[in-house]
Amino acid sequence: MKTNFMGKEISGQFTIPSGIVTTNTKVIKKIMEEIPEIGIITTKSIGPEQRAGNREPIITQYAPGCFMNAVGLTNPGYKEFAKQLSELKIPKDKFLLISIFGGNEKEFVEVAKELAPYADALELNLSCPHAKGYGMAIGQDPVAVKEIVSAVKKAVSIPVIPKLTPNTNNLGEISKAAVEGGADGICAINTVGPGEYTVNGSPVLTNKKGGMSGRGVLPIGLKCVKEIREAVDVPIIGCGGISVASDVIAYKDAGANIFGIGSTLAGMSTKEMKEYFAEIEKDIENETNNAISKIKKIDMDFKKFKLVKNEKLADDFSVLTFDEKINVKPGQFFFVWIPGKGEKPFSALDDNPLTLAVHNVGCFTKELVNLTKGAEVFFRGPYGNEVNVEKKEKIIVVGGGTGVASVYQIARDYENTEFFFGARDKDHLYYTDKIKESSPLFISTNDGSVGEKGFVTEILAKRLEELKGENMVFFNCGPLAMIEAVVQIEKQYASEEKIFSSIELMTKCGIGICGACANKKGKRLCVDGPYFGEEKCE
């Protein structure tokens, strides 16, 4: 349903709040093209300098539909983000709201001046509850709010919309101060808290404390919007706990003009989000709540496993075997959590018993390869979409590094499969006896210590020439350089629709919320993948 916001006719009355899903320009482009109900595109908060943010875990679910996050204002910095925005074309019926933050008035103005030329309006993050020295630390002071809004308003020629915190008892006063400073609208609310959630006696979030969002904050959001509406007469973007049409109507009755939906989107693929927003729009018109059927039930619970065996194949490589089995389907993956040390995603090399292949490439994997027998490790998942193959097709899987674990799942569960394993040397080959039980195995090592000397591309090309004419489908997983090389060969023997690859991208949440794992086409690995058709795996 088209609506007007600050003088611009836009395609819909919804937005996704800052920091959720539309956290980079690749996803923004896809959402703009595919979901008309989202008329306002809100970016993640951008600051003066690049920030890596907090180590994972950055998000947890403390009750069904209720989340807690501490991302840590991860962003590329305003200069890099400006470069990315310069390549993004905004449709005429979309409103780009760029969220910005700073530690003081000077930093807000600095960022605002640089990003204003690309925006329809600027959202001022005066409400983040878990980043020390930013957000809520400023937004609870009416004087500071007025001064920052006024300074930014004087520095730019576009609307300014402060995002306010619910964590205050004088929200009406703060709203008035913002409008007196020149605010053209108000966004409310940001996350509540911070709170803390523990599992097995340890805080899940590496930051320990995080802002709370989701279904549980709905009453707080409605209360805050009502307080703001009673205090000021400007457009309000209302967000916090919205999941169905009756929530939207409640926010509208409280005084909101635009409606932000964020945590409810957890677990939804791009296609499922499109269906959800179309359904909730119908519900508003028909006074129904059918969109509830589109909301996913998210499992972020942890299960504890004990390490039975750490087989060190090389100084930087181990195969870890745990004490129980875990259910996983081909293509799916898990998050592995060591309390106080961090969390990372892994494909299960085997599910009975649970087995991992770990290459020591960073702080967290170093912790894993150094685990000793009896160590306790926590797993959550699985995530990602199951691979489906027609029985009549011959399956070619190509794996390198720890990516072998993912394609082994396919070889294990499907017949008529051939397996191509590329490794650095004999010490980085693993699970070959088990692979041979499932399919013929072709091995190449860089140094020729096992199999043929050279790269996996060479043995693949040789074998595919022998199989020419067969109906083949391909699955590749491993380093990007390897995948790019094997795909070029595979395209000579199959159409692009028959070539699927899973590339190791930064995956932080597993439920599609953070947007970190988006590929160049704007699809998120954890909910749209992990395997993408060749034309989509960039």
Asked whether 110 and 82 are in contact (CB, 8 A), the reply is no
Residue among 128, 187, 517, 537 flagged as catalytic? 128
Residue 128: active-site member: yes
Residue 228, judged by CB atoms within 10 A of its CB (0-12, 13-18, 19+), counts as: buried
Asked whether 493 and 457 are in contact (CB, 8 A), the reply is no
Pair of tokens at residue 81: 């983000």
Which residues touch 410 (CB under 8 Å, ≥6 apart)?
Answer: 330, 331, 387, 389, 395, 397, 417, 475
The span from the CA of 428 to the CA of 443, in Å, is 12
The span from the CA of 377 to the CA of 84, in Å, is 39
Asked whether 403 and 502 are in contact (CB, 8 A), the reply is yes
Report whether the peptide linkage leading into residue 219 is cis, meaning its omega lies within 30 degrees of zero: no
Residue 484, judged by CB atoms within 10 A of its CB (0-12, 13-18, 19+), counts as: middle
242: left (phi over 0), alpha (psi -120 to 50) or beta: beta
Asked whether 337 and 57 are in contact (CB, 8 A), the reply is yes
3-class DSSP state of 335: strand
**DSSP-assigned beta bridge partners for residue 379:** 303, 336
Could you give the maximum distance between any two Cα atoms of the chain, in Å?
Answer: 76
Asked whether 207 and 257 are in contact (CB, 8 A), the reply is no
CA geometry: angle 78, 262, 177, nearest 5 deg: 65
Distance of alpha carbon 145 from the chain centroid: 31
- Angle between helix 245-254 and helix 270-286 axes, rounded to 10 deg: 60
Q: CB atoms < 10 A from the CB of 415, how many?
A: 11
Asked whether 341 and 206 are in contact (CB, 8 A), the reply is no
**Integer angstrom CA distances of residue 451 from 309, 459, 484, 498:** 27, 10, 22, 27
Pair of tokens at residue 223: 């209360």
Amino acid type, 32: M
CA geometry: angle 274, 498, 510, nearest 5 deg: 45
Q: Which residues are catalytic?
A: 128
